[in-house]
Structures are given as structure tokens and as C-alpha cells.
Amino acid sequence: MEPTILDRLLAISSLLQRDAQRAFAGTSLTEARVHALWVIRHAGPSTQQTLARALGTTPRSVSALVDGLAETGYVERRPHPDDRRAVLVTLTDRADKMMTRMEQDHRNLTADLLSAVDEPDRAAFERGVDAVFWRLSELVRREAVSYDDVETR
Amino acid sequence: MEPTILDRLLAISSLLQRDAQRAFAGTSLTEARVHALWVIRHAGPSTQQTLARALGTTPRSVSALVDGLAETGYVERRPHPDDRRAVLVTLTDRADKMMTRMEQDHRNLTADLLSAVDEPDRAAFERGVDAVFWRLSELVRREAVSYDDVETR
DNA sequence: TATTGTTATACTCTATAACTATA
DNA sequence: TATAGTTATAGAGTATAACAATA
């Protein structure tokens, strides 16, 4: 049976994931940690509550993530100027350097993948990816399928 | 800054992942377990070594995965007819039923996503997704980027 | 000797609940 | 009373290493 668009998208997801895991092999970095670093990179120094919301996880998990990132020198916890309960998680120079390099790799990969698409197809391809992204956002925002009743049948 | 194709693909990956996680919430199923079920569904009853290779993980992890799936009634370990060291991990009726339903949902989602793309763009979109998939396969098969030296600088 | 799957151990990510300090 | 972040505890996934049974 021929792979469908969804099959392809799922395969692309898992390739991207494997690529990331291989890039981080041998370092203390993981996908979850790098995700957190990206959020801070774009949002600036952030409280752990903010990070928890942005990452779609719990404050407890953020504590653990920030612990790991701090131990390995990628972030620092700085006191919040106005709220003595809170901390501002801040990128270190080391993190800044690594993410600058990561952004460059990101740009290179973008160009590489796009150039793999036949030039006459590119515009339609980009529109299609955009359309699928938005449709999928809608679906996920609404009710998701559940296999609950299958299990508890 | 406008999102690039790679940004979009990464976003689509994470949406698909979130969709899956929500579908399994409240059940004993996880992405890793469902992945294993899919492999068995397509390959037929398999040894744990075969599963480890197919899943890109270690025999030890497969032991843990199969333990979980067996406890919750999705697979059974059956003796291998020719090799008394090995077991054949086999789907139960429950797993077969659930996966049949999952395949139907998969088909529905495929149709839904494709219909979100403007009809005149569809052929080019599909060709583009295919091209990106193959290019990415090539890249992952070769050398991957590493952030190792950044860390150990 | 090599292979199959296990036990032992450890690390990461995630989640819930109870707690402290501050707002 | 509510919020920020912690400790406590637990489950899942993954990995390496050592081991028993079998090939």
C-alpha cells in the first residue's frame, strides 16, 4: 500500500526527531531541554511559570528541566526584580553561542529541504504545508480522538 | 519573522505528537507502546530482538515495553516454535480491535488534511512532501550535525 | 562462541500532591 | 487567599553491563 500524506508527515516527524537526538548525543542536551532554551531565547528571561505554560508542562517539570540546564551551564536562575518568590531563567553565553549555531543549521536545513522540491512545485508545496498546519492546529484545539472507551470497554 | 517550511514541519510534528498523546490519555497506551504495536501489526508475531531493531532501541527497552503491553492485555509472549531462547510477541484481540479503529481514524485524518489543501495545489503538495521526505531520509542516513564540540569546547 | 531475553542499576521526562515563602 | 517554586513520590522510556539459558 502506498504511503499517504499523513504517513509521510509522520515519517518526516520521526526523521526530524531522530536527527535532533543524534545531534545531542554525547552532550547533556535533550529535546526537552533545547525546547526550553528556544522558548527563553525568543521570550527573553522568563519565570518558571511562564516556561511551564509555554512548554505545555507543569511547574514541577520545569524545575527539573531548569535544574539540569543550570547544572550543565546553559541557564542561570536570577532573582526577579519585582517578585521575590519568582526567578528569571536566563541564558548563559554558552547557551547563546550554541543556539546561534543551531539557528544557522536550521537555516541550512530549511534551504536544503526546499531545494529538494522541484522549482515549479515549490509555491504550491509551501501553501499546502501551511494549509495542513492550520487545519491540524484547528483539529488539535478541538476535541481529540480518544481510545479511552476502547480500553475500558 | 515568517515561519519557514522547516518551522512549519516542526510545528506539524509537535501537533501530531500532541494529538497522539491526547488520544492515549487515560489509557495505558503511550506513543512508544503504540509504535511497538504497529510494528507487530505489520510484521506479524516478532521476537524481541526483531522489535528492538525495528524500533531503533535496545533489547532491554523492548523487555520493558512488552512487559507493559502484556500487563494491560495488548500482547502475549508465546514460545518460539524453533528457538527455545526466543519468544514471539503476538497481538491480542483487544490490540487488533484497537488498531483497526486507529487505522480508520488515520484514514479519516489523511482525507481531512488533504482536503484542507486547495485542489489545484494538491498534486504539487504531495510531490513536495515526498521530495522532502526522501531528502531528509538521505540526510539522516548520513552524518548528522552534532553539538558535541560546542559542549566540550 | 554467539544470541535471546532477563535482572540490576541509573538517568531523564512527566505528573500529582503537599509544602514554604511571598504577594 | 493566591501564586512561585520547591520537596516527595511515582510511572514510563531509555541505556549499559552482567548474567542465564539456549543455539
Percent helix, strand and coil across chain B, each rounded to 5?
A: 70, 5, 25
Q: How far is CA A123 from CA A114, A127, B115, B144, B153, in A?
A: 10, 6, 18, 28, 41
* Confidence band for B1, pLDDT divided at 50, 70 and 90: confident
Length of chain A equals 153
Whole-number pLDDT of residue A147: 66
Report pLDDT for A144. 54
Chain A nearest-CA distance from B56, in A, is: 10
Statement: residue B149 has pLDDT above 50: no
Question: Residue B135: what pLDDT?
Answer: 96
Q: How far is B49 from chain A (nearest CA, A)?
A: 20
pLDDT in tens, chain A (153 residues): 788 999 999 999 999 999 998 899 889 999 999 999 999 999 999 999 999 999 999 999 999 999 999 999 999 999 999 999 999 999 999 999 999 999 999 999 999 999 999 999 999 999 999 999 999 999 988 865 566 544 433
Does B77 contact strand C, using a CB cutoff of 7 Å? yes
Percent of chain B with pLDDT over 70: 93
Three cell numbers at A74?
Answer: 546553559
pLDDT at B146: 63
Confidence (pLDDT) at A35: 96
- A6 CA to D19 C1' in angstroms comes to 44
